[in-house]
Every structure is written in C-alpha cells, then in structure tokens.
Structure 1
Amino acid sequence: MPYYTPRGGLPPQTDLTTDRATFTQAYAVLPARTMSDITTSYLPHWRETRLWIIARPLTGFAETFSQYIVEVSPGGGSDRPETDRSAEAVLFVVDGALTLTLEGQQHALEAGGYAFLTPGSDWELRNDSDATATFHWVRKSYEEVEGIDRPESFVTSDAAVEPTPMPDTGGVWATTRFVDPADLRHDMHVNIVTFQPGGAITFPETHVMEHGLYVLQGKAVYLLNTDWVEVQAGDYMWLRAYCPQACYAGGPEPFRYLLYKDVNRHPGLRPPFR
C-alpha cells in the first residue's frame, strides 16, 4: 500500500512561488512542496536524522500535540529519542525499515508499521538497513486521570487492522482504528481514514477535537472553515477545535490520511485551556 514520503530537495528556480500554503486562525495547510531541505530540523541525541516539524504547540496553532516527519539515514537513530517523560507517542512508518527496541524487546517496523508508546516508555529506534527510512512521530503530553491507568504500549500495522466502515456510507468511508474508542485510558487517537473515489463527508463536521491530517495517498477537495481547498498526497492540514470540515474524494485512487485527535478528557478550565 503506498504512503507518500517527502524527499526534500528544493523546487527548481523555474517554479512559480504561488502555492496552496495557508495559515489562518482556524486552519493551516502545508503543501507537500513545503517539505524542502531548508525547512528541516534536527534533534538532540539523534544520529543521521533530520525532520520536518509540521505541528507544534503555539499560540494560534496546535494546542495539544506536535507532529514530525522524521527521515533516518542508514546507521542513524537514537538511544535517547524522547526527552519528555510525560510524552506519549505514535510512530507510523511510511518508507523503509526501522528497528524499534521497546522495553528491551525488538520490533521490525516497515512501511505501514505502527507503534503506540505510553509515557515514560523505554524505547530506542535505529535504521539498520542500507536505505533511508521515514516515519511520522506524533507526540502529546499525557493527561493523567485519577483511577484510570496509563495505556500500555503496543506495536501493530496498517495491514493488521481491519478498517471500520462508517455507518450509512456503503463502505466508501472507513476508519482504521488502532485503539478502542471506548478505552478511556487513551487521551488521543491516531487513526487512518480512507475514502474511496467519490466518497464524501456530506456535512460540515464541527466539534471539540483538534485535528492533524497528513495525506498518505490520493487527492480530495477539503472544506476548512469556509474555504474549499484542493489537497493531495504529501499535504498536511491542521484544524483547530470547532473548525468546520468536510471533503469530496477525487480519483482514481483512494484518498487516505493519518488523523490525530485529542479525546476522552474534560476540556481545561484554566489557561492554557487544553
């Protein structure tokens, strides 16, 4: 199954500057072309690794999470990947192969591989192959609740989880859910949403959950607040809470995106109102 993977570089000097990049109070769109060499970052304790930080907590932007696209060269990785012991994470591999060592046990992650890492996990990640590997890293500060245990870490894959069709859609809209929505230990979900060509969200969803959407495959026209925006594989969208959203999936292939949302917790009543 294909997953879009950025390769960096720079657009040629002959390209037009005009693009779909948009930053508003309600949403942002980072087109695939923005993932260039000059927009990469680096992290402490990571070897032979660069990344695109596509969402981060920021006034007027993401409030509950950060998201990276991480490119690990052969021999690269980290023995100290996470510096915040309160951070939970999801890793989703889109290209290449990585070795995840989680609580002393090794797991091979290839394209489509998915790992949930509970806060305070002992984990390492490295690229033992001779080709570059790329993965998404979604991080959130876990919200503890008295009487509810932290969720356990686990490793699975896109291929291992059967998508759940949305009711009354004839199967053209389905969600690959990696955790049970009723499991209140989890305060975030990172799922994969799939629309078959012609599938649609036929009403403007307007809800409390903040979203990060990375388009893995295909194309669509997406409603963001009051604007209809064309999006395609490699584009990233951020939607603040209550930003209306809908979409029409174009062809000829399925439209799929990796979706973050915060769930299962009281809204904060004191700043920073998370």
Structure 2
Amino acid sequence: MSAPTYYAPLGGLPPQSQLLTGRAVFTEAYAVIPKGVYSDIVTSYLPFWEKTRCWIIARPLSGFAETFSQYIVELAPGGGSDKPELDAAAEGVFFVVDGEVTVTLDGKEHRLEPGGYAFIPPASDFRVRNNAAGTARFHWIRKAYEAVPGIPAPEAIFANEKNIAPNPMPDTEGRWATTRFVDPEDLRHDMHVTIVTLKPGAVIPFAETHVMEHGLYVLEGKAVYRLNQDWVEVEAGDFMWLRAFCPQACYAGGPTNFRYLLYKDVNRHPKLGREFRA
C-alpha cells in the first residue's frame, strides 16, 4: 500500500492569459471552493502570528458555515505564534499536510509531520512553531466548544493517521472507510474531524441527508460529488461546505484513492433559537 499524499496549496497568481471561467460554486445549500482559488491575493494574516499567512476557507456567516471555521495555514521557517488562539472558548484541530509543525502544549513539545493530527481543548496554553528548514502547511479547524454540565471537556490528542487503522463501512469490503481520531461514542467531543477514503470506483450509494454540517477538503484523488440536486466534479485541493440536511453522495473517479478531511458537528442537542421567539 502506498503512503498517503496530501494536497497543499502553494499560492502564486494565475497568468493574465488564463480564462476567467472556473469551478467555484456558492449556493444556499452548499459551496465549492476549487484549488485554483488559493492565490496570493486571497490570503489572510492573523494577530500574533509571525512569518505566517493563511487561506480562510470557511467561517461562521449567514448562509454559510454556522458551527466552524477552517483555515489552511502556511508557516515559513521560524514562523508561528506564542498566542495562537485568542478565544478561550474555542477548541481546535490541526492536520498537517506539508512540512513539520511543533505544537507545545502545557510545556511539552509535539512534533507533527504530514498526516499529523492534534486536538486542542478550549482554554489551552499552547504554542505553534515551524522549527524545520522548509515551509509547513496545515489545516486549522476551530469551533466554539459546547460544554454540558456533568460532562468534562476532552483532553488533548496528538496522533498520526498512518498509525490508525481505517474503519471500513459495512458491506463495502473496505472500499469505503473512515480514519477516526476520536471515539464516536465519547460524548465529551462535540465535533469530529476524520479522513474518509474511497477506492477507485467506490461509491456512497445513497443521498445522505442529516443534521450534521460538513466541511470537506479533498486531500487526494478526484470524484463526482452529489450536492443537493447537482453533480459536481472535485479533485485534490478543492473544499466543499455542506449545510445541514444537504443531500450528498459520491462516485470515486480514480485512478488513485479519493480521500478527504471531513468536519462535522456531533453529540449535542440542536439549539432551539429562543432568541427568535416572540
């Protein structure tokens, strides 16, 4: 079995000869942000981060992501932050796609290589640095943690997907599998970030329709994805946002595995919106 690969944007600018036509789609039910969008002119900079830029590909916004934000962060050698998270209520997940990232949590260093995963609980004392010679790139998914009386907040997790056996979906002979970093029955967690793998020709054979909101970043391969009533071609580097209850299905196109980093909100009662009642 070959080692996993992860698409990481490099920035730059498109040539003046390039056509304006692209694959970006924004609807009330879903959005597709194709990899060609990750240019130098759409990067963002963050307070207290040095030698760092990022592409913010999801944020809480009316008609868009409601429960999470997601960045692709690029750290030059020596870059990083001693105050990375300014919101004490925010939990976070890092997933490294290129280079090496060192996360120091409560004084202990954790070195993350490609495939490396970190869950950072809310109100954590941590730092992020690129101590290597090359540029590092990682996903940073943030969510306001929903505390529940009587259930403690989860502790930090550091792992690498290469050390975790994927869980095959029933009756698929392993053609559709999910790599889980968190026990799905652990109610301390209110979000899951997993990796879904479909082998060439594999299929999600029904239109999933569910309460969880999704962010999907394609790490490898290509597929045709059903989003609401549309079939959309996606490939490594593309990002998809799916609102709750947006129908979704997939055909993996090959010739390599189709793999994506998946966010979803879980394990909490839906908010009842009392603020909107008369």
Q: Map 1:124-139 to 2 at 5 A.
A: 124-139=127-142
Hey, what's the Cα distance between the residues in 1 that align with 2:102 and 2:82? 12
Give per-residue Cα distances to partners, 1:175-234, cap 9 Å, x unaligned. Answer: 001000000000000000000000010000000000000000000000000000000000
Give the C-alpha shift of residue 18 in structure 1: 0.7
Cross-structure match for 2:29:
26
Partner secondary structure for residue 163 of structure 2: coil
Q: 2:172 aligns with which of 144, 169, 172?
A: 169
Cross-structure match for 2:206:
203
Give the C-alpha shift of residue 170 in structure 1: 1.4
Give the C-alpha shift of residue 172 in structure 1: 0.3
Cross-structure match for 2:126:
123
Cross-structure match for 1:230:
233
Partner secondary structure for residue 41 of structure 2: helix
Matched, 1:100 2:80: no
Query: For residue 226 of structure 2, what is the amino acid of its counterpart?
Result: L
Query: For residue 68 of structure 1, what is the amino acid of its counterpart?
Result: Y
Q: 2:190 aligns with which of 187, 190, 195?
A: 187
Cross-structure match for 1:248:
251
Hey, what's the Cα distance between the residues in 2 that align with 1:19 and 1:255? 21
Query: For residue 247 of structure 1, what is the amino acid of its counterpart?
Result: C
Matched, 1:67 2:70: yes
C-alpha RMSD of matched pairs (Å)? 0.9
Q: 1:41 aligns with which of 44, 56, 59?
A: 44
Hey, what's the Cα distance between the residues in 1 that align with 2:163 and 2:275? 38
With normalisation by structure 1, the TM-score equals: 0.98
Matched, 1:268 2:271: yes
Aligned residues: 273
Give the C-alpha shift of residue 265 in structure 1: 0.2
Hey, what's the Cα distance between the residues in 1 that align with 2:106 and 2:253? 43
With normalisation by structure 2, the TM-score equals: 0.97
Hey, what's the Cα distance between the residues in 2 that align with 1:99 and 1:222? 35
Partner secondary structure for residue 33 of structure 1: helix
Which stretches in structure 1 are left out of the alignment for 5+ residues?
A: none
Give the C-alpha shift of residue 247 in structure 1: 0.4
Give the C-alpha shift of residue 103 in structure 1: 1.1
Give the C-alpha shift of residue 12 in structure 1: 1.1
Give the C-alpha shift of residue 271 in structure 1: 6.0
Partner secondary structure for residue 56 of structure 2: strand
Partner secondary structure for residue 272 of structure 2: coil
